[in-house]
Amino acid sequence: MADIFYICQSFLVNNMQRYIILVVAILVSEITFSQGKKFLLPNNATKETLSNGFSYVIMPNEQPKGRVELCLCLRVGSFQEQKGEEGIAHFLEHLAFSGSKHYPKNSVLKFWESLGAKYGENINAYTTDDRTVYSVSLSNVNTEQVAKTIHILSDWLYYMDITTQAVEKERKIITQEIASYKPYKDLNPIMVGYDKQLMRFPIGTKVQIAKVTPKKLRSFYEKWYTPQNASLIVIGNIAPQATEKAIKEHFGMLGQRGEEVGNLKPISFPNKKMFSIEKEKGKRTKLSLLYPIEYVSTPFIDEYRKEIELPKVVLEILNNRFRAHKEDIRISQYWYLRRTSFLEIEMTSDDIEQTLKKTFAIIEGVKTSLTEEEVGKALEKVTTAIEKIPTERTSEDWVLSFIDNFVFRERFISQYRDKERLIKELREDYQLHHWQHICKNVLNLKDPIILYTPADNKEYTYEDFKHIISDGIAHPDTTVPTFKEEEKTISVVIPEVLTKEISFHPKDIKNETFFKEIGIHRIELTNGATIYLKPTENDEKLNVTLFFKGGYSLLPSKEFKQYEDILQYVHLGGIESLKGEAYEELLYHNNLTFIVGTEGYQHLAMATAPVNKSKELCNLIYQKLRYPERAYKAFEEVKADEIQSLSSKKNDKKADPLKEMAFKLEAIKGATYPLTELNKTTDDIQKMNLDTLYSYYQKHFLSSDELLCVVTGSFEIDKLKKELVGTLSHLKRQEGASVKKTIQKPFFQTLEVTQNKRTSFNIVYKDSYQKNLKGILSIKLLRELLRKEVIAEIREKKGWVYTPYVELEYYSEPTPTFVLIVSGETDEKHFNDVEKSVIGIINNLVKEKKINQNALTDFKYSFAVNKKEYLSDENAYNWRNYLMDCFKNDVSLEELSFYEKILESIDLLNK
C-alpha cells in the first residue's frame, strides 16, 4: 500500500559482500524494507493453519486461574447473504444449539451445563455483518472435557443438523427476537454509503424469516461454513500439546468445500452530497463532519505506526489548539464498520457559523505552523497510551483480540518489545518539518458527510456549510497553545495526629480464630466489634470496610427527612485537626480515601491506603469517625443547592409507562427503606442544623456492638491486627434501633405494560428464607432451576419470549425476604399464557417440590466451581463483597469453611 506520508525507494547492491542501502526520502526520512517487521504474538501463543485452510490459536493463560475460553469464529455474516437469504447467517447460529451429527438435540448444552456453564452466560453466540462467533467459557475442566468441546465445535462447523422440526422451533424464537429487538448500532444510511446490505440488521425481518427454508439454510451452510473460513481460539488453563492434538484430529479431517471469504472491503460512498438533518430538542446547535478513511488492518509495525499512530499525534495537536481557544470542538478517529473508519469533527455552539469557521481556521493554521513544544506534548500523550497497553490480559480479552485478528487479518500489540520499538520510532524518527508534512496529509479534508442538529428554526444547506468552511480555510489561525509547567508531585506532610503510634492492649481481644480453609483471621473484641483479616495476593492497596448496625432505622421517624443524609452532612469536611482543602490535599497526595454510606439497617465507612501506610489509615479512620470537621460553609451551600433543585423540578406530564412499572416493581420488592421514598420539602431542608446532626451522629452512629470490620490487601497480619484492635477498641456500645420483625408470607404479583401489541412484564414471587448459608444457597439454587424451566417452556418449547430474565434479590432486614422476578417481552396475545406458565413453574418448584435432581446436581457443581474462581486470593473486591453479604445474613466463618458440605446437603424438598 502506498504510504500517504512519504514515498520511499530502496534497493540493495551486492559488491564484494558489501551491502549498500540507498534511501531516497521525499517527505519523511525513514528506512523501510519490502517486508517489514510484524507484531509479535503474545507470550506462549501458537497460531497455525492446517492444510485445509483451518486456522487455530492456542495460548496457555492463568488470568483467571482455572478458566479456559474456547471460541469458534467464522468470517461469515449477513454480508455473505444474497437476495432471498436475509437473516440466514443469524438463523444458522441459532440452529447450532439444536444439534449436530455426533451431538443430537440439546446434548451439547447438557454436557456444558454439567461442567458448570450456563446458556446465555458462559455459552454464547452472535452474528454480525462480517462474522459469526460461538464461544464457551469453562472452569476447572480436564483435558478430555476440552477435547470434547473442540469436537463439538468441529461438528457445528461441518455437521450441523438442519431439520424441519429444528427450523420451525427456531423460527418462533427468532420471530420473538425480532419483535423485541433494540438496535445496537447507528445505521444512519449516509454513514454506510446507502449500502442496502449494511443498512439492514443481520437478524432479518419477520417477513424474511418466514421465507427461510431448510434447503436455503443447507445451501448457505455448505457454501460458507468451511474450514478455510473458520478459526478456533483456545486460551486459558490448557495443556497445549493435547489441545493441539484434539484440534488437528477433529478439524484437520474436514475437507474444503464451498467458497472462501475474500478480504473485507471498505464501505463505498457514492459521489454525491451526504447531508442529514437530525430533529432533536436542544438549546445549542450540534454539527458533526465525518470523513471516511479506509481502515488499515496490518500485521506490520511500520505500517501500523504510519496509518494508526501518526494520525493520533496530529489529532492530539489539533485538540490542544481547540482547547486553547476554549471552543467546544473535538476531532477524533474511530473504526466504524468493516474496513471503514471515520475522522470526525464535532462541535456544539450557539453560533455554529462562527464556530465552524473558527474550526477550519485552526485546522489550516496547524497545517502551516507547528512548534516543538506542542508536538512534544501530543507525542507524550500518544506514547503514554501505548505504554499502558497491557501485555498481560484475561483469557477473554485475548480471545476478543484474536477474533479481530482473524476477521481483519491484522495483528495487535501484545509484547513489550513492540511497544518499546513503536514509542522509540515515534519519538526519534521525525523532526518538526516531518510533522508539518504529516499534518498536511492527515488534515487534507474534503467533502465531508455532515450530520446537523439545529437548535432553532434556522437551517443550513450542504453548500452553506461548504462556504463557511472555505471562509475559515482562507483565514488560518496560527495561534499556538501555551502549556503551563505541570505541577510536580507535592509530598504533603502528614500531621502528627495521623502518624502517632497506636496503643495495643491484648485484653481488648475476646477471642481470635484462624480459618485455614478460607484463609481468614477473625478477631472478636470485648466491646462487641469483630475484625476479619483476609490477606489477598498482589494487592498493595489496603482496604478497610466498617459495617455498623443501624442505618436509616436509627433515625427519628417524625423528622426523618431532616436526618436522612446525616452521614454525608457530618462528613462534608475533613477532621478537626486538618480541615477543608488541606485534608483533601493530604488524601490525594498520600493515596488515602475515606467514604461513608447508608442503607436501610446498616451504615458503612470504607477507607483505603497503600499497605505501607496502615498506621496512618487506622488513625484517619478513628479521627474521621470520632472527630469529623463541622464544615458549616459547605453545609449551607449544600442546603442552598438542594432548595434550588427542589424549585427547578417539574412534573413529567407524559409519564413513561415502563418507568412507572419499574417504580412499582421496586415498591413490591421492598428493597428501599420506606421513609426514604417520601419527598423532602423545602421546610425539611431549612430546619436542618449541622450541630444537631453532629450530636445525633455521635450518640447513635458509632456503636461498637455488632460492628464488623473486613480488611483485604497484601498486609502483615500481626502489625495490622494490633493497629486495628487499638483503633476500634476505643469505640463504645450504643443503644441501637429496635427493628420490628414480621413474617413474609408467599405471594405473587404481576406487572405488565402493553404498547404496540407487545407486552412487557414482571412476574414477581416473594417469600421468606432462612438467614444462614444453607438458606442463601437454597434460594440461589431455586433461581437457577426456575431459570432453566422458564427458558425451556416459554422460549424453547413455546417460542413466546425470546429472552426471559430470571432475577433474584434478597434482603435480610427487617424480615429475611427473597424476591424472584421473571421478566421479558411477548406478543400481547401470548401474555396470559406466559403468566400462567411461569406461575405454574414456580408453584411446582416451591409448593409441589417437583425438583429436577439431575439439574440440581449440575447447579451445585457450578456453584462450587464458580466459588473457587470468584473467591481467588487475588480478588480482594470479590472477597469484600462476599463477606459483607454473608455477614448481613448471619453466615459465620464456621459455615463458610464447610461450604461444599452444606451445598451438597441441599435437596430443596423441605422449606
Q: Which residues are CB-contacts of 568 (< 8 A; sequence separation ≥ 6)?
A: 596
757: left (phi over 0), alpha (psi -120 to 50) or beta: left
Q: Which residues are CB-contacts of 469 (< 8 A; sequence separation ≥ 6)?
A: 356, 357, 360
CA–CA distance, 777 with 769 (Å, rounded to integer): 10
Give the residue from 849, 871, 791 showing the smallest Cα distance to 120: 791
Q: Is 287 helix (H, G, I), strand (E, B) or coil?
A: strand
Assigned CATH for 514-647+680-728: 3.30.830.10
Beta strands 55-60 and 230-236, pairing class:
parallel
CA–CA distance, 91 with 89 (Å, rounded to integer): 5
Burial (CB count <10 Å: 0-12, 13-18, 19+), residue 639 = middle
User: What order of strands is seen across the sheet that includes strand 805-811?
Assistant: 747-755, 758-768, 817-827, 805-811
Q: Would you state the pLDDT for residue 491?
A: 56
Q: Which residues are CB-contacts of 507 (< 8 A; sequence separation ≥ 6)?
A: 526
Q: Mean pLDDT by 10-residue block, N- to C-terminus, for the chain (911 residues)?
A: 32 33 33 64 96 98 93 96 96 96 94 92 94 96 97 98 95 91 63 83 94 97 98 98 98 96 87 75 81 88 92 96 91 88 92 94 95 95 96 95 92 94 95 96 93 80 94 94 62 83 96 94 96 91 95 94 96 94 92 94 95 96 97 94 78 71 89 86 94 96 95 95 97 78 84 94 95 94 96 94 94 91 96 97 94 93 88 84 87 92 89 56
What secondary structure, in 3-state letters, does 797-829 show? HCCCCCCCEEEEEEECCCCCEEEEEEEEEEEHH
Instruction: List, in sequence order, every residue forming a beta bridge with 286; answer none if it has no partner.
Output: 348, 453
Give the residue from 106, 121, 137 showing the smallest Cα distance to 784: 121
What secondary structure, in 3-state letters, does 503-542 show? CCCHHHEEEEEEECCCCEEEEEECCCCEEEEEECCCCCEE
Give the residue from 867, 756, 769 showing the smallest Cα distance to 812: 769
Burial (CB count <10 Å: 0-12, 13-18, 19+), residue 771 = middle
User: Residue 218: which H helix or E strand, with range?
Assistant: helix 214-224
Using the Cα atoms of residue 108, residue 110, residue 115 and residue 117 in order, give the sign of their dihedral.
positive
CA–CA distance, 182 with 176 (Å, rounded to integer): 12
User: Strand ranges (DSSP E) for 647-731?
Assistant: 708-713
Cis-peptide, bond into residue 299, ω within 30° of zero: no
CA–CA distance, 162 with 166 (Å, rounded to integer): 7
Number of neighbouring beta carbons within 10 Å of residue 1: 10
User: In terms of C-beta distances under 8 Å and separation of at least 24 residues, what long-range contacts does 141-144 make, across chains too?
Assistant: 141/68, 141/115, 143/238, 143/239, 143/242, 143/243
Cell of 442: 492527515
Q: Would you state the pLDDT for residue 259?
A: 96
Q: Would you state the pLDDT for residue 15?
A: 37
CA–CA distance, 846 with 858 (Å, rounded to integer): 19
Q: Would you state the pLDDT for residue 183?
A: 55
- Phi, psi at residue 763, to the nearest 5°? -105, 115
- Give the C-alpha distances (Å, rounded to integers) separating 868 from 63, 431, 730: 14, 54, 37
How far out from the chain centre does Cα 466 lie?
40
CA–CA distance, 854 with 114 (Å, rounded to integer): 9
- Phi, psi at residue 878, to the nearest 5°? -65, -40
Q: Would you state the pLDDT for residue 209?
A: 96
Q: What is the DSSP string of 571-627?
A: TSS-BTTB-HHHHHHHHHHHT-EEEEEE-SSEEEEEEEEEGGGHHHHHHHHHHHHHS
How far out from the chain centre does Cα 468 lie?
41
Write the single-letter amino acid at 171: R
Alpha helices in 225-351 (DSSP H): 240-251, 301-304, 310-324
Give the residue from 382, 592, 380, 589 showing the smallest Cα distance to 487: 589
How far out from the chain centre does Cα 326 lie?
32
Q: Is 885 helix (H, G, I), strand (E, B) or coil?
A: helix
Q: How many residues does the chain have?
A: 911
Cell of 625: 469517625
CA–CA distance, 174 with 802 (Å, rounded to integer): 7
User: What order of strands is seen across the sheet that includes strand 132-139?
Assistant: 46-49, 55-60, 230-236, 67-74, 132-139, 123-127
Burial (CB count <10 Å: 0-12, 13-18, 19+), residue 558 = exposed
CA–CA distance, 425 with 463 (Å, rounded to integer): 42
Assigned CATH for 747-904: 3.30.830.10
CA–CA distance, 695 with 686 (Å, rounded to integer): 18
CATH 3.30.830.10 fits 276-390+418-473, yes or no: yes
* Superfamily of domain covering 56-251: Metalloenzyme, LuxS/M16 peptidase-like (3.30.830.10)
Burial (CB count <10 Å: 0-12, 13-18, 19+), residue 482 = exposed
Cell of 162: 438442519
User: Residue 18: which H helix or E strand, with range?
Assistant: strand 18-25
Q: Would you state the pLDDT for residue 744?
A: 75
Half-sphere exposure of 909 (CA within 13 A, CB side): 4
Please check whether the two domains, 56-251 and 514-647+680-728, share a CATH topology: yes
Beta strands 340-349 and 285-294, pairing class:
antiparallel
Question: Could you tell me the residue ranges of all domains in the chain?
Answer: 56-251, 276-390+418-473, 514-647+680-728, 747-904
- Give the C-alpha distances (Å, rounded to integers) separating 135 from 95, 117, 297, 799, 826: 15, 11, 24, 23, 27
